[in-house]
Structure 1
Amino acid sequence: MAEYKTESQKKKFYRTGEWNKLRLEALDRDNHECQQCKREGKVHVDSKKVEGERKTIELNVHHKYEIEHYPQFALVLDNLETVCLNCHNKLHNRVFGEQKKKSWDDEMW
């Protein structure tokens, strides 16, 4: 079984035809909509390709069980979920542009 511990191993995996095919399957299954936004009653769909312009990236296909720790689920459709970039960053605790909440609110003396 392949390992996906290093950045180069992960990049190599995400460039494979097998991953790209499965990724497109997940997007189609999820109707090109962010599933997390949908659960929250919001709608976030994929951008449209405009002729002569580069398509903006709105959606990612997220591994519910990360390939680094669960390589056996790397190519399992049921382990994939379409999410927007914002929700994907939240799922990975990557928060940009806002302060991370302090673990306590005591005043500093």
Structure 2
Amino acid sequence: MRIPGDRPLESWIRDLMEHDRLYAFYQSDDWQELRDAVMLDHNYECEMCAAEGRYGRADTVHHEHEVRREPSMALTRFVTTDDGERREVLHPLCNHHHNVVHKRTYSELRKQRTQSKDERSNLREEIW
């Protein structure tokens, strides 16, 4: 699926968020192609693992400008700083470091899973 060309990217993403369908952006050909290019250019290596002096296989590309907060930046790979420096704002990360960046801890992730199970158990059973 391609991102619609008949309106701005930001408008489309905000519409997806409004309908709880942001996953459609991440499934789009445009994002997948950009993600693949970032991963390939970095040899599928987690930037944060490399900074720690070890190898970690990246499985996620992190948006420095989070899509929910800045949807217009969703497909932006490089920005130019005030001093004219070109800087990459998409970063290949392993799952562990992606959670670190977003300040998601194991206990919080476990709590989210438990809540999801609790919500499912609150569903009314079907009566036959």
Residue identity matched to 1:72: S
Work out whether 1:17 is the aligned partner of 2:52.
no
Letter of the structure 2 residue corresponding to residue 14 of structure 1: Y
Distance 2:73 2:57 in 1: 26
- Indicate how the Cα distance of structure 1 residues 64 and 24 shifts in structure 2: closer, same or farther if over 3 A, else same: same
Following superposition, the deviation at residue 73 of structure 1 comes to: 1.1
Q: TM-score, normalised by structure 2?
A: 0.60
AA in 2 matched with 1:92: H
Higher relative contact order (CA 8 A, sep 6+): 1
Q: Partners in 2 of 1:91 and 1:7 — Cα distance?
A: 26
Moved over 6 A (4+): none
Gaps of 5+ in 2: 1-9, 79-88, 109-128
The partner residue of 2:105 within 88, 91, 95 is 95
Give the root-mean-square deviation of aligned CA atoms.
2.0
Counterpart AA for 2:76: V
5+ long unaligned stretches in structure 1: 47-58, 99-109
Query: Cα 1:60–1:6, aligned 2, differ >3 Å: closer, same or farther?
Result: farther
Residue matched to 2:38: 26
- What's the counterpart of residue 102 of structure 1? none
Note the alpha carbon deviations across 1:12-62, whole angstroms, 9 max, x for none. Answer: 11110000000001101111100011111111125xxxxxxxxxxxx1111
Structure ranking higher in helix proportion: 2
| 1:86 is aligned to 2:96 | yes
Structure 2 distance, partners of 1:6, 1:15, is 17
Aligned length in residues = 86
TM-score of the aligned structures, taking structure 1 as reference length: 0.70
Q: Shift in Å at residue 70 of structure 1?
A: 0.9
Q: What residue is the counterpart of 1:62 in the other structure?
A: 62
